[in-house]
Amino acid sequence: MTDVESSTERLERVDVGLALLSFASGSMDALAFFNLGEVFPSAMTGNTALLGLTLGQGHLMAASRPFTAFAAFLVGGAVASAGVELWLREHPTSAAAWRLLALEAFFLAVFALAWRSIDGPIEGFALYALIVAASSAMGIQSVAAHLVGRRGITTVVFTSTLTSIVSIATRALLRPPHSLPLVTARQIGMFLIYGVGAGVCGFFAAQQASIAVVPFLAVVAAAAVLWTAAGRRGSETT
C-alpha cells in the first residue's frame, strides 16, 4: 500500500477530505450527545469517562449507552482493519480509504433514514441501534483517516492532538523563526473544523430529522475527494 501524496509540506487534496471527516465526526458527536443519551460516537475517551462515572454511581442502564458506543466503535474499526488486510492491501492508500468511507457512508445513511422514521422520543431498541450505527461508522472512519498517512492528523480523537498543538506552538513561540510547521497548522485546522461540525449540529439540534443527514453528506464528500485523488494518482503512474 502506497501513500496517495508524497508531499507533507503543502496543503493537498486529501487534506480537504480529512477536514470533511473532522466535520462529520464533530456533527455526529453533537447529534448523539443531544439526542442519544449523551454519548460520543467518535470520542472514546469521553465515553470511557462516562462509563466509569455511571458505573461508579451504580447507574447500569445509563452505563449501557457509552458501553454500546465504545464496543461499536471497536467493531467498526476492526471490520475496517480486516477489510484492509484481506482485500485492500494492494490498493493505494487513497483508493483503500475512499472504499472504507463508502462503507461508512452506508452506515450513516442507515442512521439518517432510521432517525427520520422514528416518530416520537428516541428510546429503547431504536436508541441503541442508532448508537451502534453511528459509532461503527466512526470506527471505520478512524481507520480510513489513518490510511491517508498524514502524520499527527486524526479526525476522531483530539486529546493527543491538542497536546501536540500546545507543545509545538509553545516551542515556536520561544524559538526562532517563530513559525508553526504545516503539520501543526493542519492539526489546528482539523480541531477547529471538528468544533464547527459540532456547533452546526448543536445550533440546529431542534431539527433532528433533517440535521441527521449532515454527517452522511460530509463523508460522501470526503470519499469523493479521496476518489479523485486516487484517480489522479493512477493517471500519474501510467
pLDDT tens readout for residues 109-149: 999 999 989 888 889 999 999 999 999 999 999 999 988 86
Q: What is the pLDDT of residues 182-216, one digit of tens each?
A: 889 999 999 999 999 999 988 886 666 678 999 99
> In sequence order, what are the residues at sequence separation of 6 or more whose Cβ sits closer than 8 angstroms to the Cβ of residue 129?
114
9 DSSP assignment:
S
Answer for the pair 18, 145: CB distance below 8 angstroms, yes or no. Answer: yes
Whether residue 155 has pLDDT greater than 90? no
Q: What pLDDT was estimated at residue 24?
A: 97
Cell 516551542 sits at which residue? 171
Q: What is the mean pLDDT of residues 140-162?
A: 82
The number of folded domains in the chain is: 1
With CA atoms as reference, report the closest residue to 146 among 85, 79, 97: 97
Amino acid at residue number 38: E
224 in any annotated domain: yes
Residue 8 lies in a domain: no
The pLDDT mean for the chain works out to 88
pLDDT at 7: 47
- The answer to the question of residue 237 being in a domain is no
Distances 216 to 91, 110, 120, 142 between C-alpha atoms, Å: 24, 9, 22, 15
Expressed as residue numbers, the domain containing 157 is 13-232
Q: Do the domain assignments include residue 178? A: yes
Residue type, 127: L
Which residues 6+ apart lie within 8 Å of 89 measured at CB? Answer: 1
C-alpha cell, 45: 475517551
Q: What is the pTM of this model?
A: 0.89
Cα angle at 170 between 164 and 175, to 5 degrees?
Answer: 125
Reference 134, options 160, 159, 154, 114; nearest CA is 114
- CATH number reported for the structural domain that contains residue 175 in this entry: 1.20.1250
Angle made by CA atoms 100, 106, 110, in degrees to the nearest 5: 150
> Helix or strand or coil: residue 211?
helix
3-state secondary structure of 29: helix
Q: Is residue 4 part of a domain?
A: no
In a domain, 6, yes or no: no
pLDDT of residue 207: 63
Residue 129 lies in a domain: yes
Side-chain half-sphere of 209: how many Cα atoms within 13 Å?
8
Give the span between the Cα atoms of 232 and 180, in whole angstroms.
29
Contact assessment for residue 42 and residue 76, using Cβ atoms and an 8 Å cutoff: no
In a domain, 5, yes or no: no
Residues 6+ apart with CB under 8 A from 168: 180, 181, 184
Give the closest residue to 22 by CA, choosing from 50, 46, 1, 43: 43
**pLDDT for position 238:** 45
